């Protein structure tokens, strides 16, 4: 059995016994019933995910999947794909947005080269980059499939293997992405799986003006008509219009779910990957925590399809895992409420009749 099929088959739902025990405790905390609202909902989920009323989330890792996209040749981005390498350099040097916010959250950042169109070996002197390169970027899906079906499966399995490799040092995973052109792939994935018009899920990405946005929409409409991805087959969708880093994110989600570890889903790109994972293994959705709602309108459609209400809405559109890093503070807060706050009995406080 392949790693992908073995992983999918091993994913089961949350631990209902731990959820029930956590619910009983949360019901008795010294405050009006469920007065901390969604923070308490989150605590309940974390207990179910981790199978414990004392879930551990101290060791945090944000995994930034990086890959380039041939669709940039069709003029859908303001920036050339060479920028991807330069951004990875920033991640490794600890100076990018994700590094700043991850440090604040007490999280490690690990970059995975899924398909960057450049040599990253000189940047990985301390093992800062996991090499899972499938190819130096996808093909231009405006002219044909982005990748072969075999490459799509290999990329999914690379994401699973990254989760497995980092599992012993990670309690809480966060997803991140880097890849010029990846909003186009994500839009095409969401349009296909959610069966929505392209114009309803495409936004400005790196800051396109009105004319550039119209061009992007037309390119993606033609690309979807050309490739005709099957919405009932997530691997077909991935292979025809996806990206290697999006596949890596989907695999990471599947791997985390199989390991029964919580995974915070960052923004639009990460949610496109999570959407694929959710179609491949519906139970994997029980391990996903949506970090935030980005300004990309396709993100809202993807979150709705997953049945996820994000924790935050801060007008982010950066990616990299920045939203996941900020949300990690809320994850720790939810666990603290569950494990540190007293019940009425413990505090010897009389409940109101």
| CATH number for the domain that contains residue 25 | 1.10.1610.10
**C-alpha closest to that of 130 among 99, 103, 108:** 108
Is 109 inside a domain boundary?
Answer: yes
Domain count within the chain: 2
Quick: pLDDT tens for 233-289: 999 999 999 999 999 999 999 999 999 999 999 999 999 999 999 999 999 999 999
How far, in Å, CA of 345 to CA of 58, rounded?
Answer: 28
Is 303 inside a domain boundary?
Answer: yes
For the beta carbon of residue 30, count every other beta carbon within 10 angstroms: 15
> Residues 94, 23: one domain?
no
Is 104 inside a domain boundary?
Answer: yes
Is 179 inside a domain boundary?
Answer: yes
How far, in Å, CA of 91 to CA of 95, rounded?
Answer: 6
Is 353 inside a domain boundary?
Answer: no
How far, in Å, CA of 21 to CA of 93, rounded?
Answer: 44
Active site residue 320: yes
> Residues 172, 278: one domain?
yes
Is 317 inside a domain boundary?
Answer: yes
> Residues 113, 11: one domain?
no
Phi and psi torsions of 276, nearest 5°: -65, -45
Is 352 inside a domain boundary?
Answer: no
> Residues 27, 70: one domain?
no
- Give the CATH number for residue 159: 3.40.50.10210
Is 314 inside a domain boundary?
Answer: yes
Which domain does 266 fall in, by range?
60-330
> Residues 170, 302: one domain?
yes
**C-alpha closest to that of 146 among 244, 248, 277:** 244
> Residues 307, 223: one domain?
yes
> Residues 46, 82: one domain?
no
Quick: pLDDT tens for 283-340: 999 999 999 999 999 999 999 999 999 999 999 999 999 999 999 999 999 999 999 9
First to last CA, the chain: 58
Residue 64 has a pLDDT of 98
> Residues 165, 195: one domain?
yes
Percent of the chain beyond pLDDT 90? Answer: 93
Quick: pLDDT tens for 18-62: 999 999 999 999 999 999 999 999 999 999 999 999 999 999 999
Quick: pLDDT tens for 124-158: 877 789 999 999 999 999 999 999 999 999 999 99
What value does the CA radius of gyration of the chain take, rounded to a whole number of Å?
20
Q: Which of 309, 320, 346, 351 is catalytic?
A: 320
């Amino acid at each position: 059995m392949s790693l992908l099929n073995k992983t999918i088959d091993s994913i089961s739902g949350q631990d209902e016994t731990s959820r029930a025990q956590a619910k009983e405790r949360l019901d008795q905390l010294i405050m009006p019933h469920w007065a901390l609202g969604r923070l308490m909902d989150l605590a309940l989920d974390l207990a179910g995910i981790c199978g414990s009323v004392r879930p551990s989330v101290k060791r945090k890792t944000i995994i930034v999947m990086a890959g380039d996209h041939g669709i940039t040749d069709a003029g859908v981005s303001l920036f050339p794909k060479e920028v991807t390498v330069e951004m990875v350099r920033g991640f490794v040097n600890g100076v990018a947005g994700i590094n700043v916010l991850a440090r604040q959250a007490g999280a490690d950042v690990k970059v995975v080269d899924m398909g960057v169109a450049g040599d990253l070996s000189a940047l990985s002197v301390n093992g800062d980059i996991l090499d899972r390169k499938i190819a130096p970027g996808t093909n231009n899906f405006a002219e044909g499939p982005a990748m072969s079906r075999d490459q799509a499966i290999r990329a999914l399995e690379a994401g699973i293997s990254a989760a497995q490799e980092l599992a012993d040092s990670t309690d809480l995973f966060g997803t991140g992405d880097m890849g010029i052109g990846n909003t186009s792939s994500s839009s095409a994935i969401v349009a296909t799986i959610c069966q929505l018009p392209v114009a309803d899920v495409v936004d400005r990405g790196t800051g396109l003006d009105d004319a550039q946005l119209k061009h992007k929409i037309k390119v993606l409409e033609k690309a979807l008509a050309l490739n005709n991805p099957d919405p009932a087959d997530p691997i077909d969708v991935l292979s025809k219009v996806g990206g290697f880093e999006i596949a890596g994110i989907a695999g990471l989600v599947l791997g985390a779910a199989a390991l029964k570890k919580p995974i915070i889903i960052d923004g639009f790109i990460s949610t496109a990957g999570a959407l694929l994972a959710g179609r491949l293994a519906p139970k994997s959705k029980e391990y996903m925590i949506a970090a935030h709602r980005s300004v990309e309108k396709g993100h809202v459609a993807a979150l709705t399809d997953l049945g996820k209400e994000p924790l935050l809405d801060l007008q982010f559109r950066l990616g990299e895992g920045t939203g996941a890093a900020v949300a990690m503070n809320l994850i720790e807060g939810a666990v603290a409420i569950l494990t540190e706050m007293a019940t009425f009995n413990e505090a010897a406080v009389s409940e109101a009749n």
